[in-house]
Amino acid sequence: MALLQTLLLRVITTAVTLLGVAVIVFFVIRVVPGNPIAMMLPPGATAEDIANLTARYGLDKSIPEQFFIWGGGVLRGDFGTSITLKQPVLALVLGRLPATLELSVLALGMAILIGGAAALTGTRLRETRVEGGIDIAQGMALSVPDFLWGLVLILVFGVLVPVFQISGRVTPSLELPFVTDFYLVESVLRLRFDLTLDLLSHMLLPALALAIPLAAIIGQLLKQSLKETMHLDYVTLARTQGYSEAKVIWSQALPNAILPTLTLVGVQFTFLIGGTVIIERLFSYEGLGNMAIDAVINRDLPLIQGIVILFAVIFTGVNLLVDLTYAALNPRLRHG
């Protein structure tokens, strides 16, 4: 019963949030200077041409009027048509979403792996030079933002020692047998590991750029809570039972210490997804973020709206997922 109530409340707040985002974006991009119609027409178009095209996209109506027309369409699943690409926004956006999701999740996985390993190693070797070294590395990772890490990685692994791809999602000359846009997932499912490898060699550097700062945050917080947990009585009791230090950390301390980190990862993951906008641009990766920048440059209003709404849906979805996972992992919440 309590669960149902919480869930219902969650759905309502999510709906209100999305509506708020929709309103703000809709009005803001119409108030800022820049005219999408003017950008579409060749120089020397007549005033009549401009008026015609403006009317075709409904941009001659008042902004509230435009909002209700667009909002009505959205409720029916019609997000309008991209002004520059002349295709339905929904199809365009959903077509790019998988590329961005794969990149973000890969980056998240790398961040958890690197940050987790750093935290566990730091805890096992606490109060030694190794822990000091890990702390310094994490401090460095945090003092540089993801896009600068992107540039550094391009320089080192793309130019100096060119072992990874630095542009695009997949080698263009390859024959792709995919029916969905989840290339990475599908390549694995089809056992086409040659393609998996090619995709990964394109994704690795942008994913790493996104992962480095998050890995440092995870590493710091997790190590701190692990070290605090290591003093607790039940950990000491496990030691008397014959468990090795590594086993004590892994099976006694970690399940409890991980909870605060998990909440943080949820919040930070939404930042990471936000970071894909610039990183995708930097690596010419054909995802949603890259499309967003094009849409903004071209003042493609319907496309911008669609992308922003989709980002908002992803963010709220991630937050919901984190809360559910937290509840599942924490028995004190599970049993009320």
Partner 1 sequence: MSFLEVRNLSARVKGGGPLLRDVFLTVEVGEVRGLVGESGAGKSMIGKAILGILPKAVEITGGQIVLDGTDLLTLPPAVRRMKVGATCALIPQDPLTALNPSRRIGAQITDRLVDILGWTRQRAEERALALLGEVQITNPARVLRQYPHELSGGMRQRILIASAFAAEPKLIVADEPTTALDVTVQKQILKLIAALQARHGTALLFVTHDLGVVSKVCQNLSVLYAGKVVEDSAVADFFRAPKHPYSAALLAATPKYTDPFAGLQPVPEAVIAAVRAEVEHG
Q: What is the DSSP letter of 144?
A: S
Q: Which is nearer to partner 1, 56 or 247 (CB)?
A: 247
Site string for partner 1, 121-160 (x = CB under 8 A): ------x---------------------------------
Return the CA Rg of the chain.
24
For residue 25, the tally of other CB atoms under 10 A from its CB is: 19
Distance between CA 218 and CA 236 in Å, rounded? Answer: 25
CA 329 to chain centre: 23
Amino acid occupying residue 165: Q
For the chain, first and last CA: distance in Å?
11
Stretch that binds partner 1, among 2-10, 83-91, 190-198, 233-241 (CB under 8 A): 233-241
Burial 225-238 (b: 16+ CB within 10 A, else e): bbbebbeeeebeeb
Compute CA distances 242 → 236, 252, 253, whole Å.
10, 13, 15
Nearest to 25 by CA among 319, 296, 256: 296
Tell me the backbone φ, ψ of residue 242, rounded to 5 degrees. Answer: 105, 0
Stretch that binds partner 1, among 44-52, 53-61, 176-184, 324-332 (CB under 8 A): 324-332
Q: Whole-number minimum distance, CB 246 to partner 1, in Å?
A: 11
Q: Which is nearer to partner 1, 173 or 240 (CB)?
A: 240
Q: Which is nearer to partner 1, 10 or 239 (CB)?
A: 239
Stretch that binds partner 1, among 42-50, 83-91, 303-311, 326-334 (CB under 8 A): 326-334
Site string for partner 1, 25-64 (x = CB under 8 A): ----------------------------------------
Q: Whole-number minimum distance, CB 333 to partner 1, in Å?
A: 10
Q: Whole-number minimum distance, CB 264 to partner 1, in Å?
A: 18
Q: Whole-number minimum distance, CB 108 to partner 1, in Å?
A: 23
Encoding tokens for residue 295? 């849409």
Q: Which is nearer to partner 1, 105 or 329 (CB)?
A: 329
Using CB under 8 A as the binding criterion, the count of chain residues that bind partner 1 stands at 23
For residue 197, the tally of other CB atoms under 10 A from its CB is: 11
Compute CA distances 236 → 249, 252, 253, whole Å.
11, 10, 10
Stretch that binds partner 1, among 29-37, 58-66, 110-118, 327-335 (CB under 8 A): 327-335
Encoding tokens for residue 72? 């009505």
Stretch that binds partner 1, among 68-76, 228-236, 289-297, 313-321 (CB under 8 A): 228-236
Distance between CA 67 and CA 26 in Å, rounded? Answer: 7
Q: Whole-number minimum distance, CB 74 to partner 1, in Å?
A: 43
Nearest to 272 by CA among 59, 63, 115, 90: 115
Site string for partner 1, 235-264 (x = CB under 8 A): -xxxxxxxxx--x---xx--xx--------
Q: Count of residues for the chain?
A: 336
Q: Which is nearer to partner 1, 86 or 231 (CB)?
A: 231
Site membership for partner 1, residue 336 (CB under 8 A): no
Q: Which is nearer to partner 1, 127 or 175 (CB)?
A: 127
At which residue do the structure tokens 């995709």 appear?
A: 199
Q: Whole-number minimum distance, CB 244 to partner 1, in Å?
A: 7
Q: Which residues bind partner 1 (CB under 8 A)?
A: 127, 232-234, 236-244, 247, 251-252, 255-256, 329-332, 335
